[in-house]
Chains A and B, each alone.
Chain A
Amino acid sequence: MELLDYAFMQRALLAAVLVGITAPAIGIYLVQRRQPLMGDGIGHVAMTGVGLGFLLNASPVWMATAVSALGAVLMELIRWYGKTRGDIALAMLFYGGMAGGVMFVNLTPGGSNANLSSYLFGSLSTVSPSDVTAISLLAAFVVVVTLGLRRQLFAVSLDEEFARVTGLPVRALNLLTAITAAVTVTVAMRVVGLILVSALMVVPVAAAQQLSRSFAATFAIAVAIGVTVTIGGTVTSYYQDVPPGATIVLLTIAAFIVLTALAAPLARRRARAAAAAGPAGDPVECAIPASRGAGDELGV
């Protein structure tokens, strides 16, 4: 593999693998909470961080981490206190973050929107050695949280009200989820880009669901898909000279389509097996003559 001879490709591939692991690992909890687009909002907020990095001549990766974590915490607090207005708050952060990024980059002497481009859509050649250090540290944090606290995060993402009655610190866990999602966005920023990062959090999980029945299996399959498409996309991008972010996202969607097509016969086979096992299992509602279902509402 000649592409491994180049130091920039080694760095790009390492970053790609880390993205492939972390994005679906946190994404599964966002999907579980039915907030799959949260990553997208955070991606837009992170643009302000990148712009600030340029303006202050600081590392855009660390700056984006700080700003997007702050934005994610803000989103979570607004969701907490505003309840029904959460989507409005999300929209404001979304566009405010994007506008802030453009503004700060253009305030930087000699800066223009062209500087933002590699952060928006990802780039192989620009992953610097210091980026690799930052990405590795941040990815380690994401893996520790998403695997180490998987039972707690599962419970909170499934049913907040119940989780509170088991004594879990629901608010702290929600904030941690938001911060971890923000960290993942900045891990993915260099390779996939801020605009497309959310796809890698959501689509591998959706693809994995086509095959799995359990949360644990969905997690494992989603990460496997994530790593496969990020490596595949990075290598393709090297040989074909196409942007890695777009390649990775299109590959992820292709994986989703293929798995959905494969899953249809699998689901049919499972349904047949369940039907065969049916009589021994639980009686179905219509089998009991005296019962009435929720649909048989009687007026009083």
Chain B
Amino acid sequence: MTEPVIRLSGVRAELGSRPVLRGIDLTVSRGEVVALLGANGSGKSTAVRSVIGQVPVSAGEIELFGTPRRRFRDWARVGYVPQRTTAAGGVPATVTEVVSSGRLSRARFGVLRKADHAAVRRALELVGMADRARDSVDALSGGQHQRVLIARALASEPELLIMDEPMAGVDLASQEVLAETLREQVAAGATVLLVLHELGPLEPLIDRAVVLRDGCVLHDGPPPKAVGQHALPGHDHVHPHAPAGAEPIRTGLLS
């Protein structure tokens, strides 16, 4: 636990006039696996999106690998899995085409060389999708879409993985593949920041949990233990995303 890979101090952000982050402090050290937990609307997605520069920050500092985010250019070291349920766009694309776009951060002028194609193949093997490489992403299940999005993030062979709800809408088989993939990445020394709705099959991997509520850090320490029905083995708890402003779904993690 030496060098901080991500450091947020006193970060505030607003969406419109509504404060979403109200002074967040968060440090992720090299090799750590940190889960960001909280109910819908607690600011966990906004927090990770502020780290990658997708959300403007009104106060506070963000550093990536010790460099202020505004001056950070070494994006090949970061693999990002956005909160999405599909890897498809308006035009058909193969699994390989989508995953290859994750390699662009290592490719000069967008030219993929032999080593780049090999890295894309490795990323597909890591998530168990190598046999679907030439298939259209339109033909995949929800869990397979998520595996493709994770392979895309792994294609640049990043040191830091940032994942926004990688388990949302993912079937159990894919959840286990993803947990195994993540385990290998962590064993190889990757640093991971995950937004999660609940710990699920990733629980054994997680070193530290940061729980947000209403844009503030409520808990920063060992992962909270699941209680009651949530503690049952195989409990797979997938929420549809409620519209903004809806009553937050109580996950049982916070209460």
Which A residues lie at the B interface, using CB under 8 A? Answer: 28, 31-34, 36, 149-152, 154-155, 157-159, 161-168, 205, 209, 212-216, 218, 274, 281-285, 288, 290-294, 297-298, 300
The 5 lowest CB-CB distance pairs between A and B, nearest first, are A167-B75, A291-B172, A155-B101, A213-B136, A165-B80
Q: Residue-by-residue, is B72-108 near A (CB-CB < 8 Å gives 1, otherwise 0)?
A: 0111101010101000011111100110111011010
State in angstroms the CA–CA spacing of A291 and B171 once bound together: 7
Least distance between B108 CB and chain A CB atoms (Å): 12
Least distance between A166 CB and chain B CB atoms (Å): 4
Least distance between A276 CB and chain B CB atoms (Å): 14
The stretch of B17-25, B137-145, B179-187, B213-221 that contacts the partner chain: B137-145
- Closest residue to A160 on the B side, CB-wise? B54
Least distance between A237 CB and chain B CB atoms (Å): 30
With contacts A284-B141, A300-B250 known, is A168 near B92, CB below 8 A?
A: no
State in angstroms the CA–CA spacing of A60 and B23 once bound together: 56
Which B residues lie at the A interface, using CB under 8 A? Answer: 49, 52-54, 73-76, 78, 80, 82, 84, 89-94, 97-98, 100-102, 104-105, 107, 110, 112, 128, 131-132, 134-136, 138-139, 141-144, 152, 156, 162, 169, 171-173, 229, 234, 236-240, 249-252
With contacts A157-B89, A214-B94 known, is A288 near B171, CB below 8 A?
A: yes
Return chain A residues, CB-CB under 8 Å to B89.
32-34, 157-159
| B101 adjacent to A215 (CB under 8 Å) | no
State in angstroms the CA–CA spacing of A168 and B75 once bound together: 9
| A300 adjacent to B173 (CB under 8 Å) | no
With contacts A165-B78, A166-B156 known, is A285 near B141, CB below 8 A?
A: yes
Return chain A residues, CB-CB under 8 Å to B52.
161, 164-165
State in angstroms the CA–CA spacing of A274 and B84 once bound together: 26
With contacts A285-B171, A290-B172 known, is A151 near B100, CB below 8 A?
A: yes
State in angstroms the CA–CA spacing of A218 and B98 once bound together: 14
Return chain A residues, CB-CB under 8 Å to B102.
162, 166
Least distance between B144 CB and chain A CB atoms (Å): 7
| A285 adjacent to B93 (CB under 8 Å) | no
Return chain B residues, CB-CB under 8 Å to A291.
171-173, 236
| B101 adjacent to A166 (CB under 8 Å) | yes
Which one of B53, B84, B92, B236 lies within 8 Å of A214 (CB-CB)? Answer: B92
With contacts A214-B93, A300-B252 known, is A274 near B82, CB below 8 A?
A: no
Least distance between B62 CB and chain A CB atoms (Å): 14
- Closest residue to A222 on the B side, CB-wise? B91
| A162 adjacent to B90 (CB under 8 Å) | no
User: Could you say which of A31, A165, A218, A293 has the most chain B C-beta atoms within 10 Å of its C-beta?
Assistant: A165
Return chain A residues, CB-CB under 8 Å to B107.
151
- Closest residue to B88 on the A side, CB-wise? A158
| B104 adjacent to A152 (CB under 8 Å) | yes
User: Could you say which of A33, A158, A215 has the most chain B C-beta atoms within 10 Å of its C-beta?
Assistant: A158
Return chain B residues, CB-CB under 8 Å to A297.
238-240
With contacts A161-B82, A215-B94, A297-B240 known, is A154 near B101, CB below 8 A?
A: yes
State in angstroms the CA–CA spacing of A294 and B240 once bound together: 7
| B104 adjacent to A168 (CB under 8 Å) | yes
State in angstroms the CA–CA spacing of A104 and B52 once bound together: 47
User: Could you say which of A149, A157, A285, A288 has the most chain B C-beta atoms within 10 Å of its C-beta?
Assistant: A285
- Closest residue to B229 on the A side, CB-wise? A300
- Closest residue to A36 on the B side, CB-wise? B90
| B105 adjacent to A151 (CB under 8 Å) | no
Return chain B residues, CB-CB under 8 Å to A282.
128, 132, 141, 144, 173
